[in-house]
C-alpha cells in the first residue's frame, strides 16, 4: 500500500493561503506517497481546481450523517464530493470534545462518507488522564469497536484509521516510538480480528505534533502507514519535508 500524508488545516485558511497548495504541488510533482490536504470547506472547490492534474487530493474535515435536510451550517458527504473532495475526516478529537460526538455519531458519519464514495479517515485517541491511568488500549479498542462499520463493505483502502493521542495534538509532545508502534500494532490486530485479511491493507496514520524534525523517526515505527498532520501542514515549507520523509519510509 502507498503511505498517506494527510494535512488537516482545521479552522485556518483563506484565499491568500492557496499559495501554499501551489508550492506543495510544484515541490512534489510525483511523490512517493499519497498527499491529501483537508482545508476548511470554503477552500475545497478552489483547491480542487488548482490541484487538477496533480497528485494532490482534497478532503473535508467533517460531514453530516444525512444526505440532505434541515441542518443549518452542516455539510453532507455528497456536498464534499461535489466540491472536489475524495476524503473526509470523521471523529477527530476536537469534534468529539467540542461537539459531544459519540462513537455512534462517528460511525454514522463514516458510513455516510463511504456511501458517498469518499474515503473515511476515522480518528481515535486517548486523553492524558486516560493514558496516565493505563487505559490507552482500552480506550482505543472501544473507539474502534464503536466507530467502525460492522462489516467492511468497501475497499480496505477506503477506510483509514488515524491514531491521535489527544494530549499530543498541538502540544509539541509525542509518545515514544515504542508507544506509537504498540498502539498501531494493537489497532492492526483489532482490525484483523474484525475484518479478516483485508484489514491488512487498511492504512493506519499517526497524528499528534508531527513535524519535520520527528517525521522520519515516527514513520519508522511498525504499522505506521502515514500521518495526519495539523499545524505543520499549513505551510508547504513544513509539510513538504514530512511528505518527503514519508516517501522514503
- Give the residue numbers annotated as catalytic, written as ranges: 92, 164
Is the CB of residue 29 less than 8 Å from the CB of residue 54? Answer: yes
Distance CA 39, CA 141 (A): 29
Beta-bridged to residue 7, according to DSSP, are: 37, 229
Beta-bridged to residue 53, according to DSSP, are: none
Which runs of consecutive H residues, i.e. helices, occur in the chain? 18-27, 41-51, 77-83, 93-98, 103-115, 128-132, 136-147, 177-195, 215-219, 236-248
CA angle, corner 229, sides to 125 and 139, nearest 5? 5
Spatial CA neighbour of 220 closest among 240, 245, 195, 244: 245
176-179 contacts at long range (C-beta below 8 A, 24 or more positions apart):
177/217, 177/218, 177/220, 177/221, 178/221
Spatial CA neighbour of 55 closest among 70, 23, 33, 73: 33
Please enumerate in sequence order all residues whose Cβ is within 8 A of that of 158, keeping only pairs 6 or more positions apart, or say none.
114, 118, 119, 120
Residue found under cell 492534474? 53
Spatial CA neighbour of 231 closest among 239, 240, 243, 242: 239
The grid coordinates listed for 236 are 508547504
Amino acid at each position: 500500500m502507498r503511505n498517506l500524508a494527510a494535512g488537516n488545516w482545521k479552522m485556518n485558511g483563506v484565499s491568500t493561503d492557496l499559495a501554499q497548495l501551489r508550492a506543495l504541488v510544484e515541490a512534489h510533482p510525483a511523490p512517493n506517497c499519497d498527499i491529501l490536504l483537508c482545508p476548511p470547506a470554503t477552500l475545497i472547490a478552489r483547491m480542487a481546481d488548482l490541484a487538477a492534474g496533480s497528485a494532490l487530493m482534497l478532503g473535508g474535515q467533517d460531514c453530516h450523517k444525512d444526505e440532505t435536510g434541515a441542518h443549518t451550517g452542516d455539510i453532507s458527504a455528497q456536498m464534499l464530493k461535489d466540491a472536489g473532495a475524495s476524503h473526509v475526516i470523521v471523529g477527530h478529537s476536537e469534534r468529539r470534545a467540542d461537539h459531544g460526538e459519540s462513537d455512534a455519531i462517528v460511525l454514522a458519519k463514516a458510513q455516510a462518507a463511504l456511501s458517498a464514495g469518499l474515503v473515511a479517515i476515522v480518528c481515535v485517541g486517548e486523553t492524558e488522564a486516560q493514558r496516565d491511568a493505563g487505559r490507552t488500549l482500552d480506550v482505543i479498542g472501544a473507539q474502534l469497536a464503536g466507530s467502525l462499520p460492522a462489516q467492511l463493505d468497501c475497499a480496505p483502502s477506503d477506510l483509514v484509521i488515524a491514531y491521535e493521542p489527544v494530549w499530543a495534538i498541538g502540544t509539541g509532545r509525542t509518545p515514544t516510538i515504542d508507544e506509537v508502534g504498540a498502539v498501531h500494532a494493537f489497532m492492526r490486530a483489532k482490525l484483523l480480528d474484525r475484518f479478516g485479511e483485508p484489514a491488512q491493507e487498511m492504512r493506519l496514520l499517526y497524528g499528534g505534533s508531527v513535524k519535520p524534525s520527528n517525521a522520519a523517526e515516527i514513520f519508522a515505527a511498525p504499522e505506521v502507514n502515514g500521518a495526519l498532520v495539523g499545524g505543520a501542514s499549513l505551510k508547504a515549507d513544513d509539510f513538504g519535508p514530512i511528505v518527503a520523509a514519508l516517501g522514503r519510509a
